Amino acid sequence: MTLLLGSLTIGLILTLLALGVYISFRIFDFPDLTADGSLALGAAVSAVLLVQGLHPVWATLAGAAAGVLAGAVTGLLHTRFRINNLLSGILVMTALYSTNLYVMGRSNVPLLSVRSLNSLAEAAGVDFFGRADISLFGWPVMVRDLTMLGCIAAVVLAACGSLYLFFRTQVGTAMRATGENPLMIRALGVPTGWMIVVGLMLSNGLIALSGSLLAQYQGFADVQMGIGMMVWGLASVIIGEALVQSRKLGLTIVGCVMGSVLFRLLIAIALRWGLNPNSLKLITAVFVLAALVLPSLIGQWTRRKGRA
Amino acid sequence: MLRIEDLSIRFKAGTPDEVCVLDGIQLQVKEGSFVVVIGTNGSGKSTLLNAVAGVFPPERGRIEVAGQDVTRWPEHRRARLIGRVFQNPFSGTAPHMTVAENLALAARRGLARGLRWALLPGLMRQMKDRVGELNMGLEDRLESEMGSLSGGQRQALTLLMASWVRPQLLLLDEHTAALDPKAADQVIRLTHQIVTRDRLTTLMVTHSMAQAVHLGDRLIMMNKGQIIFDAEGMAKKSLRVEDLMARFEEVRRDEQLDVSAAKMLKALYI
Ligand SMILES: Nc1ncnc2c1ncn2[C@@H]1O[C@H](COP(=O)(O)OP(=O)(O)O)[C@@H](O)[C@H]1O
Ligand SMILES: [Mg+2]
């Protein structure tokens, strides 16, 4: 039960990462590697502020704001200085590695003994239920886990809702069109460069928020925690697309949530069965590769069969 | 309405493949005039339209639209004054967005875009009416994805989008070339209807001699980045397809002369 609750919570936290990757990768068709750096950046900034005793809500928001800034840098490198999109992201990601070390002052900041969203949730939960563990369908669970899950679910729901509403506003539709057909939308008077910058700010803000929540949930921020996370987010997006089978805005956002939670659950089960954690990144990468390559391979194969 | 002075554009300047695509173009178009642009492939017609739209900055010269010097304006800023339809029906619309969303984007051309709902009820009603005027049955398909429509339907909608907010200048670049004859006919009739109803100042590139003769009140012919023929008013009205064919033949003969003269010079001096 604890395993299930835990993967559900982490899956929901990483939904914010998946949404960020969805915005850059799918809406803008911009493979933004800043993600790896901004996830750790969000964690680092929040962690340091928490250690200094800032209120957890402000510390979390500050982490997200740092991500917004990182996204702006990548966007400006690409649109103002005409640096290739992959390279812009790689440059910022690389610079962020050192920045994160500098922010934290060392490679790992433990958060178990400081006031964080996690400890706030615990206190609220104990207040509400009157004790530290209760039974859920006959299983004993920590009240802290339950309230944390509730808070995260609320944050994710709010993020999904606002994104859905935003992408149906005048600016939001202009952003979607920027990714689909920049030629057309420039002819309709939209400065596509700015749209990309704002889009990447939004994307990296969500990813940094995800990093900040992840650090608080697992009880530490680590400079390495961002590595491979863009691919992780992409895997979640791909699973989500396979699940909902649609390109409609609302459904793809729901797909991101489902994909992220399911992916996290699958990985947790595989780890439980004795999968070596060191193979995790390899498996994620192979999975994404397969998801990208298989459809066209299968297409070729059926065509060849049809001809024979 | 449109005033082009000494406009020149070279591609790959400073390299051995340097091409002078526009060579000192001078053109003035009066308000409400419908100008048809013809010319052989590669004569610079698309480049002329793109330069006016601001796709690339000119090497030399000045462009004025509706009394404003737009030479240094970026493309998206010029879109306030200019509506465009492209040759490729896929270029003018966003395929995975609905017809209504595409139209809503066009309804804000040149206006600020804020955090208001893109599909406001008033706008939706207006869409039903204006799409209905196309007489293509598309008013019932506002919720369909743009990509599910045919090339002709998409081109008709692109035309409606380009003129939704009245443009000071409408640029059409072979916008029927990729369509089957029936759809091309329909889009041309629609073009005529919209341009005359709203009295739009228009530049239309076409490869169809029939269109060139029947449409517009002025015709210019381009060759090698220059305007080599310009007919207005009565002179334009009296043009026949044969006259234009004869012009093209003349250009071709001159070119052959050029080539043989160059060969002769080479033989003599090299
Ligand atoms: N971006 C570009 N780079 C280099 N050459 C170009 C470019 N665009 C057009 N050209 C060249 O400019 C010439 C004119 O092209 P264009 O204006 O498209 O002709 P038209 O529309 O009259 O057929 C052609 O020779 C073409 O090869
Ligand atoms: Mg052309």
Q: Is the pLDDT of residue A251 over 70?
A: yes
- CA–CA min distance A180, chain B (Å): 6
* Minimum distance, in Å, between the CA of residue B155 and any CA atom of chain A: 12
Closest CA to B188 of B221, B216, B165: B216
DSSP A245-277: ----HHHHHHHHHHHHHHHHHHHHHHHHTT--G
Architecture of domain B2-95+169-239: 3-Layer(aba) Sandwich (3.40)
Tens-place pLDDT, residues B116-160 = 999 999 999 999 999 999 999 999 999 999 999 999 999 999 999
Query: Looking at chain B, which residue has its C-alpha nearest residue A194?
Result: B76
Interval between CA B181 and ligand 2 midpoint (Å)? 19
B7, B9, B10, B11, best to mutate for ligand 1 pocket (most atoms within 8 Å of CB): B11
Say if residue A188's pLDDT is above 80: yes
Average pLDDT for A97-117: 95
CA A119, CA B78: separation in Å to the nearest integer? 55
pLDDT at B138 (0 to 100): 95
Region class of B18: left (phi > 0), else alpha (psi between -120 and 50), else beta? beta
Q: How far apart are CA B174 and CA B176, in angstroms?
A: 5
pLDDT at position A172 over 80: yes
Backbone angles phi, psi at B219, to 5 degrees: -135, 130
pLDDT over threshold 80, residue A238? yes
Q: Tell me: the pLDDT tens digits for A52-76? A: 999 999 999 999 999 999 999 999 9
Atom index in ligand 1 nearest the CA of residue B56 equals 1
pLDDT band at B46 (very low <50, low <70, confident <90, very high): very high
Closest by CA position to B104, among listed A166, A181, A174, A190: A174
Tell me, what's the pLDDT at A288?
Answer: 85
Residue A27: per-residue pLDDT: 95
- pLDDT at residue A308 in the model: 59
Whole-number pLDDT of residue B263: 74
Between these two residues, A214 and A135, which has the higher pLDDT value?
A214
What are the boundaries of each domain within chain B?
A: 2-95+169-239
Element (H, E) at B170: strand B169-173
* Ligand 1 atom nearest residue B43's Cα: 22
Nearest to A188 among B90, B106, B118 (CB): B106
Q: How much is the average pLDDT of A182-205?
A: 97
Q: How many CA atoms lie within 13 A of B116 on its CB side?
A: 12
Window A:222-251, CB contacts with B under 8 Å: 247
**Alpha carbon distance A64, A81 (integer Å):** 25
- Report whether pLDDT(B102) > 70: yes
According to the model, what pLDDT value does residue A307 have?
67
- For residue A244, give the 3-state DSSP assignment: helix
DSSP label at A169? B
Band (pLDDT 50/70/90 cuts) for residue A139 is confident
Tell whether B77 lies on the interface with A, counting CB pairs under 8 A.
yes
Q: pLDDT over 70 for what percent of chain B?
A: 99
List the single range of A15-29, A162-176, A277-291, B223-237 with lowest mean pLDDT.
A277-291
Scanning B54-203, the segments in alpha helix (DSSP H) are 75-78, 99-107, 121-132, 151-162, 181-197
Domain residue ranges in chain A:
2-226
Question: For the stretch A245-261, what's the b/e string if a residue is b when 16 or more beta carbons lie within 10 angstroms of its beta carbon?
Answer: eeeebeebbbbbbbbbb
Structure pTM?
A: 0.91
- Chain B, 142-161: which have a CB under 8 Å from a chain A CB? 145, 161
pLDDT (mean) for A124-139: 80
Give the Å distance between the CA of B224 and the centre of ligand 2.
Answer: 13
For chain A, the C-alpha Rg in angstroms (whole number) is 20
**B113 at the A interface (CB within 8 A)?**
yes
d(CA A222, CA A215): 8
A236 token code pair: 């979640």
What is the rounded average pLDDT of the residues B171-175? 96
For the residues A284-303, what does the mean pLDDT come to?
Answer: 83
Closest by CA position to B105, among listed B90, B93, B122, B115:
B93
B interface mutation test: which of A184, A194, A252 has the most B CBs within 10 A? A184
Average pLDDT, chain B: 92
Q: What percent of chain B has pLDDT over 90?
A: 78
Atom of ligand 1 nearest to the CA of B205: 21
Is the Cβ pair A189, B109 closer than 8 Å? yes
Cα A45 to chain centroid, rounded: 16
Q: Is the pLDDT of residue B260 over 90?
A: no
Residue of B49, B75, B105, B160 to mutate for A, most A C-beta atoms under 10 A: B105
Mean pLDDT value across residues A202-222: 97
pLDDT score of A31 more than 70: yes
Tokens of A160: 């999904």
In the predicted structure, residue A157 carries a pLDDT above the cut 80:
yes
Tell me what the pLDDT averaged over chain A comes to.
92
Residues 6+ apart with CB under 8 A from B110: A189, B79, B80, B81, B165
Task: Give per-residue burial for B3-14: e unless 16+ CB within 10 Å, then b.
Answer: ebeebbbbeeee
Give distance in angstroms: CA of A224 to centre of ligand 1: 50
Residue A201: alpha-carbon gap to chain centroid: 13
Judged against a pLDDT cut of 90, whether residue A190 lies above it is answered with yes
Q: Flag whether pLDDT at A144 surpasses 90.
A: no
CB-defined contacts A:B, below 8 A: 86
Mutate to test the pocket of ligand 1, among B12, B17, B40, B47 (most ligand atoms within 8 A of CB): B47
For CA atoms B176, B181, B182, B188, the dihedral sign is positive
